Amino acid sequence: MSKYRAIPLGYMTVGEVAKRMHTTVRTLQYYDKEGVLSPSSESEGGRRLYTDKDIIRLHQVQSMKYLGFSLEDIKSRLKNLETPQEVAAALSEQADDVREKIAALSDTLAAIEKLREETLKMDSVNWSKYAGIVVNLQMKNEFYGMVKHFDDKMLDHFHSGFTIEHATEILNTLSRLIDRVGEYQEQGVPPESEQGQALAKNWWDLVTEVTGGDMSLLPKLIKLPELMKSSENKEIGETWWSERWSSIEPFLNRALGAYFMRIGYNPFEGDAR
């Protein structure tokens, strides 16, 4: 870096650059410290001196900063933006990043609005239920509203025993089984048939997976459809679930009854009740 006794023609101090470029001296000092934009020269008195070339680079920095590039990204990219094609490629990448952020923010906003609606349907503040609702919203589970019907034991069970990936897999399996019950009903497949019994086994395997073998949770799970059905101001997902459950319940009860009789075990008898 050259040093000058006085400020020569064509050079500007940091204060002059800040005023000209509508920024602050502190910002320019920070850019210098981070290696994003350093002055071309320095006076003998230690004043940092900028040239028109530095101003052009500052235009680049300010433009990229406005477009959402991080300083680290700007520092690594500026030296490679020598052609229109290179600039266009960098802008395309940044546009993709911005789209992802917009999508994420849209999801977050929707989750905030839905959680707000759910909190007003509860009698008291319950952060454990709020957390459960948020997790279900992250999974894009339309039945997120059912969480407000959980008691503390069920909340603890689901919070401690399931990852988002595992819970999503369970919900997908549940949805497939519900659809299959509907198909069997339309086709007139008897619940006691081989197909009906295979479905009953799959359903019970899923229940066992959800409860972790704790049959004391079973009555609570069974009551959920009725709780959602009687709940005021139900979400669309809750209404769908309660109505869908009502339509498949007769077939499923018969299929499970036959299945339990066949294996010689009924979880609804004795302590399981």
Strand partners, 3: 42
The whole-number pLDDT of residue 21 equals 93
Cα separation of 252 and 260, whole Å? 12
- This model's pTM is above 0.85: no
pLDDT digits (tens, 9 = 90+) for 109-150: 988 898 888 888 888 888 888 888 888 788 777 767 778 778
Contact 228, 222 (CB under 8 A): no
Catalogue the long-range contacts made by 211-217 (C-beta closer than 8 Å, 24 or more residues apart). 211/157, 212/157, 212/161, 214/157, 215/267, 215/271, 215/272, 216/153, 216/271, 216/272, 217/153, 217/154, 217/157
The sign of the torsion formed by the CA atoms of 25, 28, 34, 38 equals negative
Alpha-carbon distance of 270 to 121, in angstroms, equals: 35
pLDDT band at 271 (very low <50, low <70, confident <90, very high): very low
Task: For residue 147, give every residue at least 6 positions away whose Cβ sits within 8 Å of its Cβ, in sequence order, or none.
Answer: 118, 129, 132, 133, 136, 155
